[in-house]
Structure 1
Amino acid sequence: MTPSSSAVFRCSGCGIPLQTEHKDRPGYVPSSAKEREPAVCQRCFRIKNYNEASSVTVDQDEFLKLLGGIASTNSLVVHIVDLFDFEGSMISSLQRFVGHNEVLLVVNKIDLLPRVTNFNRLRNWVQKQAKENGLRVVDVVLCSAKRGTGFDRVVEAVGRLRGDRDVYVVGATNVGKSTLINRLISDYSDLHQELTVSRYPGTTLDAVHIPLDDGKHIVDTPGIVYESRLTEIIPREDLGAVLPDKPLKPLTYQLDEKQTLFFGALVRFDFVEGEHQSFTVYASSGIPIHRTKLERADELYENHKGVMLAPPNAEGLATLPAWTRHRLRIARGAKQDVFVSGLGWIKANSESGALIDVFAPRGIKVMLRDSMI
């Protein structure tokens, strides 16, 4: 059960090597259950007994090894992304791994958008962004795992598109993948039968094959960890402040050039150059925003980081990479968002153009995109 064991114990369900030390890692089994026959990891146990798929994660290299085998299959690939962190949760390299298999794009967390959102326009925006990221999709479905909104459409689309094929479900962490798989299991699988799952050929990954009534499988892949997302690197105790759990309340700031917005001590937004204009912030209400003059920004940060400028606190701040500056130029006439993965986005409301500097922890994805709303 431990790395020093002479024998390698494997889960009879998914084939992963079993271990008793790390609950959040693949292959975990409680010490009290390690002698049972057959031995199964906690994840397979919960799928079998509770119809519950858990979130097991792997790093990007391991995940890409798993994706490498999909092209040789005849499958439907369901890619789940987080609308709040769209570019941060999209697997931009997915197309080159799936071969000729079709991709259904499921966009979760639409419940976070303001109620006045035009969802037909949003769907068109998603299709355009996916195409620009090199992803060809056969269909797009908008849904909310939390509210249950749109899940009937997801199930219908999977049933319509998969035919007699297996279904691979892929996505980053915290995008709602497990919720979707649980729903698909309940709709397409007889849970009273013995659950037989197998390790994905040629890998040591915790990919679980969940049998369907027609003999095919839903293949639950681990969640990929992208450290380019703010939510992957901040202290766990700050996730509640950064991840919104109710509809966003846009905040609009009228700014002159040489003004700065601090998002706690996580991100700094400098309006460096441009005409007086407004910017609308779409971020969690748990992150306090402080406005100051650009000339005072450095001093304010040094004197108040981790205290007034929080989250994170001083201890948490010490665990984050140093800030990197991203210089972004919004062209005159363009309707664009300044997107910071894991934080949200800032919409430039004027079409007069602007020069923006964004400071974020090194490695975090910061970019301009066409306005979502």
Structure 2
Amino acid sequence: MTIAPLKPRCAGCGISLQSDDQKKPGYVPASSLDKEEAVCQRCFRIKNYNESSSITVNQDEFLKLLGGIASTNSLVVHIVDLFDFQGSLISGLQRFVGNNPVLLVVNKIDLLPPVTNWNRLRNWVQKQAREEGLKVVDVVLCSARRNIGFDRVVEALNGYRQGRDVYVVGATNVGKSTLINRLISDYSDLKRELTVSRYPGTTLDAVHIPLDDGKSIIDTPGIVYAWRMSEIVARQDLAALLPDKPLKPMTYQLNARQTLFIGALARFDFVEGERQSFTVNVSTGLSIHRTKLERADELYTQHRGEMLSPPRAEDLNDFPEWTRHRLKIAPNSNQDIFISGLGWIQANGKTGALVDIHAPKGIKVMLRDSIL
């Protein structure tokens, strides 16, 4: 019996390489197909020219790959984005991973103020994970980009791995590849790096990184959640939407019947309640405009795509229509209004409030315990 040779895989995103069709994933010129540590054309252009790509892999393939973890004996590292916690958490992860232990790594803590009470934040994460049905053996807070808390990530892996493979899972754009590149330098002799970019879905297939003890770190493709704002904005607007520096909370003293626009991405209406303050936590790349509720519809119609942007005027036709979410904030409840992929608005008043959130159809909007 003849055994077919293994197909070479891209060292950046893990996809099988091919030289037949430039429009399909894994394309590489035939002359480069047999090179050691070859990268596909897509990864090459992302890394060297910061270009995006419309090539994606079917979501069913993502779930099939995730479902195979249950039959292994592995440590599962679930990376979530602190800025978009409820939007990036895989709440149904337990049914995919079986009895394998789950280590929850919370990335991008550098976006919060330096005076943050980290013990309180860790307790907040544990409580939110439990409420979402996720059982974890531990929670580690870190920033892969800023090299904050990475020693604790390595320590946790050493403690919980116990000679097993490590599967790294998460939603798109939570920093998986950035974190794994750090792990490669600590755990492996490999010279290569995974492809890292702002664009969702950079990893296209499972990437196996051999460890010195014969086991592997397996980077899985990001789960695409349509309820996140980062999945629906134009690619050129991701830089404005996704913060890469500490947030600068903006606090507004509002009377009832006042409105805040966050670009043309969302609208916050303070419908009823005593005068109180609301603190907006979004990327500094976004503009916030205040107006009276009675003028909000007119302002949106006249200025969306221009003064109110992103999205820009040329992208409005492809942007979903807004849906209204009515939320009641109870007195003395200390809550955030969370808009997945966009950020959150902290309600600071103690007397309660009735608010409306207008956001693109399908985007997750919810009340949660305040993160800060």
Give the TM-score of the pair, scaled to structure 2: 0.86
Counterpart AA for 1:11: P
Per-residue deviation, 1:15: 7.3
Counterpart AA for 1:326: H
Residue number in structure 2 paired with 1:225? 224
d(CA) in 1 for partners of 2:219, 2:56: 11
Do 1:57 and 1:173's aligned partners in 2 also have CA atoms closer than 8 Å?
A: no
Q: Quick one: which of 8, 11, 24 aligns to 1:11?
A: 8
Counterpart AA for 1:18: Q
Q: What SS does the corresponding residue of 2:80 show, helix, strand or coil?
A: strand
Do 2:75 and 2:102's aligned partners in 1 also have CA atoms closer than 8 Å?
A: yes
d(CA) in 1 for partners of 2:84, 2:40: 29
Structure 2 portions without partners, runs of 5+ = 45-52, 193-203
Q: What SS does the corresponding residue of 1:291 show, helix, strand or coil?
A: strand
Do 1:26 and 1:206's aligned partners in 2 also have CA atoms closer than 8 Å?
A: no
Per-residue deviation, 1:21: 2.2
Per-residue deviation, 1:206: 1.6
Per-residue deviation, 1:365: 0.9
Residue 132 (structure 2) pairs with residue 133 (structure 1): yes
Percent pairwise identity: 70
Q: What SS does the corresponding residue of 2:65 show, helix, strand or coil?
A: helix
Per-residue deviation, 1:10: 3.7
Residue number in structure 2 paired with 1:51? none
Pick closer, same or farther for the CA change 1:214–1:269 going to 2, 3 Å: same
Q: What SS does the corresponding residue of 1:68 show, helix, strand or coil?
A: helix
Pick closer, same or farther for the CA change 1:353–1:60 going to 2, 3 Å: farther
Residue number in structure 1 paired with 2:60? 61
Answer with 138-147 or 55-64: which moved more.
55-64
Residue number in structure 1 paired with 2:206? 207
Residue number in structure 2 paired with 1:52? none
Per-residue deviation, 1:182: 1.4
d(CA) in 1 for partners of 2:243, 2:66: 30
Q: What SS does the corresponding residue of 2:122 show, helix, strand or coil?
A: helix
Residue 40 (structure 2) pairs with residue 42 (structure 1): yes
Residue number in structure 2 paired with 1:265? 264
Pick closer, same or farther for the CA change 1:15–1:149 going to 2, 3 Å: closer
Q: What SS does the corresponding residue of 1:318 show, helix, strand or coil?
A: helix
Pick closer, same or farther for the CA change 1:83–1:38 going to 2, 3 Å: closer
Per-residue deviation, 1:327: 1.2
Do 2:26 and 2:40's aligned partners in 1 also have CA atoms closer than 8 Å?
A: yes
Instruction: Map residues 154-303 of structure 1 onto 2, 5 A cutoff.
Output: 154-191=153-190, 206-303=205-302
Residue number in structure 1 paired with 2:314? 315
Residue number in structure 1 paired with 2:50? none
The CA RMSD measured in Å over matched residues stands at: 2.6
d(CA) in 2 for partners of 1:59, 1:351: 47
Give the TM-score of the pair, scaled to structure 1: 0.86
d(CA) in 2 for partners of 1:77, 1:12: 23
d(CA) in 1 for partners of 2:275, 2:191: 64
Pick closer, same or farther for the CA change 1:15–1:225 going to 2, 3 Å: closer
d(CA) in 1 for partners of 2:116, 2:304: 35
